[in-house]
Structure 1
Amino acid sequence: MLTLFTGRGGMRAWVVRAGENGEREQTALGEGVLLAGWHELGDLAGVATREGIKAAVAAAYPDEGPYTVGNWTGQLYRFIHEIQPGDLVVLPLKSLRVAIGRVTGGYEHRSEAPEGLRHVRAVEWLVIDVDRQTIQSDLLDSMGSLLTVFELSRFGAADRVAALAEGKPDPGRPDADEFAATLTEPAKLYEEVRRRSADQPLTLSIRDFLGVWGVQRRYPAVTEQIKNDLAARGLVTVPPFTEGTLDSQIAVLAGGAEPDESGTSAVTRLSGSTGLSAAVQVAAHAAGLLPDEEAETPAVAYRVSNLESANRMPESVKVGDNLSTAMTIMVLRGYSQLPVLKPDGRLHGVVSWESIGRARMADTKADLEAATLKGPQEANRSDDLLDWIGAVYQSGYVLVRDHDHKICGLITASDLTVQFGTRVRPFVLVEEIEQRLRRVVDRCIPLDRLRAAVPRHRASRVNSAANLTFGAYGHLLKIPENWAALNWGIDQQHFLAALEECRNFRNSLMHFSPDPVTDDQLRPAQGLLELLRSVDPQI
């Protein structure tokens, strides 16, 4: 048993991937190193600042835009300077398991190594076969970023990764709602709401709320079922469970109950309840409490509030602060801009390197007020995210405000890149599976047998595997002579079971949900794709 993590102090936990498709995995594990790609870059050991790394990245990749350059700069700065010896690092593996190590050395550049293997950090691998089943979903979700280098900073991640490295199961979030875990079915939720007083309503995260129904994402059919179940029992959630991230807090109330002695409903009393967390009270205000019973229930959509960064207060300076304060924060954090807030938390303006430069050109002694840009765009948390994409890419950011017009978040182009990159990944994966199935079926199975696998009224429309639905492959390859024609040395029943699981996953993708697909949910499709790549390695 390892005893490396007593007194963990300031230890941090990171993820450093071994390439987009795990191509550096064998070297990382075999040589005890962390590896960053970016092979066009030379030795960065002597580059001490973000600006220096940014200049090197821009020179090495002249065709990339400012947002990509900034994103890559941040990852490389973390890899070279922020990751410290003694920190823990997680390496997701192609086997769908996880390796965990402890960083033992600083940044090195191996000029003689092959491309992609030159930027390294020494690491001692403590365990290389952690089963994802032992990791709780919130930590797995945090590991699901498309970035190569990023920190696991939420929900007590460092201590939890340390426990996994010691061979223990994930202990879960330190702030986890143990009571929520007991709400294993809707009937228990109803009883708990009924048992509580109106002044102490049940509050829990949307993630835990969905878990009562045994689901992880808000598909239309799922949300419709939950809404109907709640309505049948006279329950409501404030704010609506269809808004916010999975970790947003909601209150579950007896919305149809009679008014109390003061003549007010439980919903109206919500805003003044001292039993609610500040997060729920703010969200309730932002939602305007609830619409009338006959009003249309808000649809699940890509809201601004669905982005984590829209719910995280950005670093800022206040009116009257020194300009040197803003500049120091921007250099330390690698920011391009900072909001300047009024004493009440509302936006006064934004200070950026460009605005500082312009102000100092006009007056070398210019202060913060002179360098502050007035009138930057502000999005409401409930706005449709798609309406703000153009503004974010045009200016690089959009500030987010709550119902009181106080700043509560900041969306950057990098946030959008990660958000939509995460959403595109499952579709790309399923598309490759379909392309490989089409190719091998067209090559090995005659057209007449393809037509025999579909209903008669559709047979004449089938001219190749491209005309088959995904579900038709299961029917086609169930037939012994068709399976034999593939000449694959794998088990037919296991393959067909994996194909059916992937079909269900593909169908779920076609139904809109504002929630990201987790690595665990991707696992069956990833496994099927790896199998297809093995039996049919042609590109």
Structure 2
Amino acid sequence: MSGAASEFLKEAAERCQATPPVEIGVRELLGHWGHAVRSDAVVADVTADLAAHGLTTVPPLADAGRTVEIVPIPVDTEPESPSAEPEVDDEAPVRVSLRVRELPSATGGVTSVALDDTLAQAETTMLSDDFSQLAVLQDGRLRGAVTWDSIRLARARGSGDLRSAVDPLPEVLKCDDDLLRHAPRIYTAGFAFVEDENRTLVGIVTLADLAQQFVGLANPFVLLSEIEQRLRRLVRRICDLAEMRAKARYPNKTDGADDLMFGDYKKIFEDETLFLRCGWADIDHDVFVEKLDRVRVIRNDVMHFSPEGVRDEHTRTLNAFIKFIKGLDGGS
């Protein structure tokens, strides 16, 4: 455990004794341990250190959105004894769900008008802020939405007040709703408001937010797919089936390079005899394996759909490795 983590845990334990809970961003919490992205190993490490100081997180760190509360472990709860060294399974089942709260706009606040405001106030706000919709509130509660479509329909009916332009049944999601499951609702309506567990309006999710999230998720998958395709082609060139099976985690299920796990590629290229068959006279074996292992770690972070997302430096690393291996593979 780093000195920063020890100091944080000591301070958190003292604060929890005085005025629990301690709220903290997940990214900030991981930073005390020197991590930027959540993985199974990181979660196990942080959770174990918290438990050793009588602390835990609500919700559990593995399932949390952008923030957690650090609280004392209930006295009637027996914490599990963590192993000294968490075992990491590169091909373990991964979390393939995203919570609505993981979109920044979902908890980023909402511009609103009051139910008793004028339609001109709503239109001016939408025009000046370049919004397509506004929340309509009364006594702090959501009463509907006003959109350009609802305004046009109200005017077509001969009405010119805000109340007549309010859509009373806009889509509303909870922070902890599964984003992918509810994406069709957002797509159909064009947007959805977001409420917390107390029914307080905290944000809005639009089609643009979904598109941005999709690009952020899809791009690393595309890059990793190309890397795996090129690794398979290299493996076919330097290994026969028996040698592949000798390195494979599941040899009985391996009938070719397409059946290999990503960790199997690393085992193959760690073998200097096999590596030399690549014919790369001026490529250092240890450096190549190190770069490949870095890609493996990024791949695991991507497959966990980490709420912290794939950082720009990760995308640069993947792009650089593609350029590197593409050149080694003949540039095609």
- TM-score (normalizing by structure 2): 0.79
User: Is the contact between residue 488 and residue 535 of structure 1 (CA under 8 Å) also seen in structure 2?
Assistant: no
User: Is the contact between residue 244 and residue 305 of structure 1 (CA under 8 Å) also seen in structure 2?
Assistant: no
SS at match of 1:324: helix
**2:265 matched to which residue of 1?**
473
Find 2:10's aligned residue among 181, 191, 195.
191
**2:172 matched to which residue of 1?**
378
Find 1:389's aligned residue among 166, 172, 183.
183
SS at match of 1:403: coil
User: Is the contact between residue 347 and residue 407 of structure 1 (CA under 8 Å) also seen in structure 2?
Assistant: yes
Change in CA separation of 1:207 and 1:410 when aligned onto 2, cut-off 3 Å: same
Kindly state the Cα deviation for residue 409 of structure 1 after the two structures are TM-superposed. 0.6
User: For structure 1, which runs of at least 5 residues remain unmatched after alignment?
Assistant: 1-181, 258-291
**2:122 matched to which residue of 1?**
326
Kindly state the Cα deviation for residue 383 of structure 1 after the two structures are TM-superposed. 2.3
Kindly state the Cα deviation for residue 366 of structure 1 after the two structures are TM-superposed. 1.5
Matched, 1:253 2:71: yes
Q: Aligned partners of 1:440, 1:223: CA distance in 2, in Å?
A: 34
1:86-144 C-alpha deviation (Å, 9 max, x unpaired): xxxxxxxxxxxxxxxxxxxxxxxxxxxxxxxxxxxxxxxxxxxxxxxxxxxxxxxxxxx
SS at match of 2:164: coil
1:387-425 C-alpha deviation (Å, 9 max, x unpaired): 321110111111111233221110112112222321222
Kindly state the Cα deviation for residue 464 of structure 1 after the two structures are TM-superposed. 4.3
User: Is the contact between residue 220 and residue 513 of structure 1 (CA under 8 Å) also seen in structure 2?
Assistant: no
**2:98 matched to which residue of 1?**
302
Alignment of 1:477-488 (within 5 A): 477=269, 478-480=271-273, 483-487=276-280
SS at match of 1:330: helix
1:19-65 C-alpha deviation (Å, 9 max, x unpaired): xxxxxxxxxxxxxxxxxxxxxxxxxxxxxxxxxxxxxxxxxxxxxxx
Kindly state the Cα deviation for residue 310 of structure 1 after the two structures are TM-superposed. 1.1
Q: Aligned partners of 1:331, 1:537: CA distance in 2, in Å?
A: 54
Which amino acid in the other structure matches residue 302 of structure 1? Answer: L
Kindly state the Cα deviation for residue 355 of structure 1 after the two structures are TM-superposed. 1.0
Alignment of 1:103-502 (within 5 A): 184-185=4-5, 187-196=6-15, 198-199=18-19, 202-238=22-58, 241-242=61-62, 245-246=65-66, 248=67, 250-256=68-74, 302-342=98-138, 344-363=139-158, 365-442=159-236, 444-445=237-238, 448=240, 451-455=242-246, 464-477=256-269, 478-480=271-273, 483-487=276-280, 489-502=282-295
The one of the two structures with greater contact order (alpha-carbon pairs below 8 A, sep at least 6) is 2
User: Is the contact between residue 397 and residue 410 of structure 1 (CA under 8 Å) also seen in structure 2?
Assistant: yes
Change in CA separation of 1:464 and 1:240 when aligned onto 2, cut-off 3 Å: closer
Instruction: Please identify runs of 4+ aligned residues in structure 1 that moved more than 6 A.
Output: 456-461
SS at match of 1:454: helix
Change in CA separation of 1:402 and 1:471 when aligned onto 2, cut-off 3 Å: closer
1:442-490 C-alpha deviation (Å, 9 max, x unpaired): 3x43x53x53253289778765433443334344444447534445653
Higher mean C-alpha deviation, range 395-404 or range 514-523: 514-523
Kindly state the Cα deviation for residue 341 of structure 1 after the two structures are TM-superposed. 1.0
User: For structure 2, which runs of at least 5 residues remain unmatched after alignment?
Assistant: 79-94
User: Where is the helix percentage greater, Structure 1 or Structure 2?
Assistant: 2
Change in CA separation of 1:242 and 1:536 when aligned onto 2, cut-off 3 Å: closer
User: Is the contact between residue 96 and residue 304 of structure 2 (CA under 8 Å) also seen in structure 1?
Assistant: no
Kindly state the Cα deviation for residue 347 of structure 1 after the two structures are TM-superposed. 0.9
% same residue: 35
User: Is the contact between residue 360 and residue 366 of structure 1 (CA under 8 Å) also seen in structure 2?
Assistant: yes
Change in CA separation of 1:293 and 1:413 when aligned onto 2, cut-off 3 Å: farther
Kindly state the Cα deviation for residue 432 of structure 1 after the two structures are TM-superposed. 0.5
Which amino acid in the other structure matches residue 234 of structure 1? Answer: G
Find 1:530's aligned residue among 298, 323, 329.
323
1:183-222 C-alpha deviation (Å, 9 max, x unpaired): 712x323321343452376443222212233322333443
Matched, 1:520 2:313: yes
1:484-518 C-alpha deviation (Å, 9 max, x unpaired): 44456533332222122223333444445333121
Q: Aligned partners of 2:252, 2:163: CA distance in 1, in Å?
A: 73
CA RMSD after TM alignment: 3.3
**1:42 matched to which residue of 2?**
none
Which amino acid in the other structure matches residue 319 of structure 2? Answer: Q
- TM-score (normalizing by structure 1): 0.51
